[in-house]
Structure 1
Amino acid sequence: MDEVVVKASKKPRGVGLRGLVLGWSLWLLGSWVVLWAVGGWTVPALRVMVLSGLVGMMGVWPAVRLSQPTRTRRVASAGHEVLGGDWARACGWIAADWLALNLVFQAVIWPLQLAARWSTPQAVWLVVAVAGWSLLTGLVIAWGRGTNHPAARTWAMVVCVAVVVLEPILWWMGLMAAGPEVGVPEMRFSPLQAVWGVSAAGTEAQAQAAVAVHGFQIVTVAASAMVGWVVLWGLLALVMLRERATSRGAAAS
């Protein structure tokens, strides 16, 4: 496929990393102020604070990044295709986003540990849970940034939202149909139940029980997200090698 060299766009890149971190900090601060005004520093309010941060990472972050086009130095056609090098650069930005967002979130988790009476293992598991699910979200964003096609970006956003709310919605619909005797099932994909369970205050034994129930799910999600990123980078390497071979062949001919 013939490549066309295009001039760099003079349009702004949209929300950069500093703007994202600023918006993230304001989101957390706003959540903190609202919860304090509504319920004070009660344990339920602090647990909702953690869920609010999770929603920001898994809902607002992908909405911001998937609404921005992937900047390209070269395009393979007049359509929406993004070449491997530009896609890899966009994935690097998403990885930087993820690291910055989670570092800022540390400033929320550890002060909340004192107010919510979490044990240190509980706080660590919460950090791992938020990092794991947000890494999974970042993976979906990175895949979505591989094209500028609106439909593909929309589906990526749908996946990000579905990871959080689809399972609770299906459970609620089943509960409404079958009645309260159905009980609460153990959720496999949504982070809401795991984060809510691990963030409960109580005795050391209760905390250990909550970690025992949700720990495997948290580790599985984090490991799956890391494997997904390895697969993505491997695919990107193959795509870039193929593009270089194609360019060399075109130059030789």
Structure 2
Amino acid sequence: MVAEGFTVDLNKPLVFQVGHLGEQYEEWVHQPIVSKEGPRFFENDFMELLTRTRWWAIPVVWLPVVFWCVTTSIRVGRTLPEVGLTVVGGILLWTLIEYTLHRFLFHMKTKSYWGNTLHYLLHGCHHKHPMDGLRLVFPPAATAILCVPFWNLLKLLTAPSVTPALFGGGLLGYVMYDCTHYYLHHGQPSNDPAKHLKKYHLNHHFRIQNKGFGITSSLWDIIFGTLPPSRTSAKNN
């Protein structure tokens, strides 16, 4: 935890400390501390509160929006089968977004003060404290901000009657992703596919952190060649 004379004090708010790690941040953040006790991020109590979200807030906030989007497409003339297929397409689109964000943004390499700080807030904190139950899902306010450009892009590329259902499908995919992610860390599945997904995701955290970027599915890892090797093949190598 020492880099160029700097030591991270885990008993103090972390966000404005980690930037000082410089090039050593990458190694430090991928040495997980497995504890359900989450660290403090900010000295300010209000800022600290904004970083903590209960998992159930995600479906409570976003499922009504999904319902509104789907019914809007029906009201403007799309048939139920058409809307259903569009929603499925939106869910599939989300799985690609999920994979892309996780691989290229959440796992970007940083070494500058603000690069390390922003990465820690975005995803590094999850790898450092993977069992922090209040920082496993994305705060709804931040999600709402990110939804705006996504909605505008879909409006630009799709027909007005298609946009709501496609957006709703993507948003439903996101809800499934965040709830699945929480369950993979804190649930105890006994049957597949949940049991397999839990092993797959914890493998990403604790064994091969540059592979296995899918959360709700390994589909895009298979397509783009980032599927982690089995334990047997890894030992043979």
Class of the TM-score when normalised by the shorter of the 2 chains: 0.3 to 0.5
Larger Rg: 1
- Alignment TM-score, normalising by the size of structure 2: 0.33
Higher fraction of helix:
1
- Alignment TM-score, normalising by the size of structure 1: 0.31
